Amino acid sequence: MAQELTKLAGGSFQRVFFANSGSEAIETAVKLAKKFQAARGRFGHSIAALENGYHGRSGIALALTGMNIYKTGLPGFSLYPGIVHLPVPRTGVVDLDELGRQLDARSQDDLLAVVAEPVLGVGGVIVPPDGFLRALRELCDARNALLIFDEIFTGLGRTGTTFAFERSGVRPDILVVGKPLGAGLPVGAVLTPDDLGSCWAPVDHSTTFGGNGALVGAVGKAVLGELTAGGLADASERAGNQLMDALRSAAPPDVEVRGQGLLIGLEWQSPDQAVAFRRQMMARGVLVGIGGQQRSVVRLTPPLNITAEDLKLLESTTLAVFDEVVRR
């Protein structure tokens, strides 16, 4: 599984650290980044993440998450030392200087790393404008910081490419994957280049069940094989474009349809309507998610191997529920 992962992710990654979940993999990535920077005499705490970003609900992962809804009653997680959140522009030209000023205004320390989803999933299926990931890369390079991409949700074909970062041409220093890798079994993984991964001594990091042994390894290898042999990333791109075109042409005027591949968001002006829409979709047997700061974005994430017949059924069901919710 490790060999297949590094092959898919390209030649800059040679090492893989396995974890039990995506959240644990994020914690591992941040721990590794701090260890790497400390070995170079940089002992600060500043790590930047994105507003609306989601990285999990444990410790540092929750602190990195830029959604207050998951921190209600947990103020300590909002005050984790050194973690700051940068806004994500929705449109327009990305101003690198302004991004740096925003970071300086929020941070009390030298920047060690930036953690970002190339497309923000739970936070509202936010697709950053062209140039944003490049700006993050340049910001990191200028400040000797590491760029960590969280592709737990977006990776392995979900957004129409094997990894979402591929569209931008920007490569991270550390790549985190999870969710689909185990096909329902628990696994997360952190991919690094040799120079990063080798900064850990054998006693620096371990986990009793990380990777969950031969069974998960075999399943993960099979998943990666099917992703490649089945052309699932390309299939996701085609199906996603078809579905989004159909939904955009028929969506109510107060609903924005956006996404990449088969990660599709329907943002309602009214959170109540978003909740009603989700409830009706679930009642008709369609599993959908809901997110965004106001919980006003419904997520459509059908399987990458969805058949043409099921895709048409998803389209017709969604359009029918549009009408039902708007008429209420």
State the amino acid at position 141 in one-letter form: D
Name the active-site residue from 35, 70, 97, 179.
179
Q: Where are the beta strands (DSSP E) in the chain?
A: 15-19, 46-50, 83-86, 111-116, 146-150, 174-177, 188-192, 255-260, 263-268, 289-291, 297-300
User: Does residue 138 carry a pLDDT above 70?
Assistant: yes
245 catalytic residue (yes or no): no
* 150 is a catalytic site residue: yes
| pLDDT interval class at 30 (50, 70, 90) | very high
- Residue 326 φ then ψ, to 5°: -70, -35
Whether the full predicted model's pTM is greater than 0.85, yes or no, is yes
Contact status, residue 102 vs residue 87, Cβ threshold 8 Å? yes
Which domains can be identified in the chain, with CATH numbers? 1-229 (3.40.640.10), 232-327 (3.90.1150.10)
Instruction: Check if 70 is active-site.
Output: no
What is residue 253's predicted lDDT score, i.e. its pLDDT?
Answer: 94
What is the DSSP-derived secondary structure letter of residue 120?
A: B
Alpha carbon distance 148, 116 (integer Å): 6
Strand partners, 50: 86
| Mean local confidence (pLDDT), 183-209 | 90
Catalytic pick among 7, 35, 54, 312 = 54
DSSP-assigned beta bridge partners for residue 268:
255
Assign 328 a pLDDT band (cuts: 50, 70, 90).
low
Average pLDDT, integer, range 130-147: 96
| Confidence (pLDDT) at 44 | 85
Tens of pLDDT, residue by residue over 37-84, are: 999 999 888 999 999 999 999 889 999 999 989 988 887 666 678 899
**For range 89-116, the mean pLDDT:** 88
- Mean of the per-residue pLDDT values for the chain? 94
Q: First vs last Cα of the chain: how many Å apart? A: 50
Q: Which long-range contacts (CB under 8 A, 24 or more apart) does 313-318 make?
A: 314/243, 314/286, 315/243, 315/246, 315/247, 317/281, 317/284, 317/286, 318/247, 318/281, 318/286
| SS3 of residue 325 by DSSP | helix
The one catalytic residue among 34, 35, 150, 194: 150
Choose among 254, 256, 10: nearest CA to 127.
256
> Torsion over CA of 308, 309, 312 and 318, rounded to 10 degrees?
-120
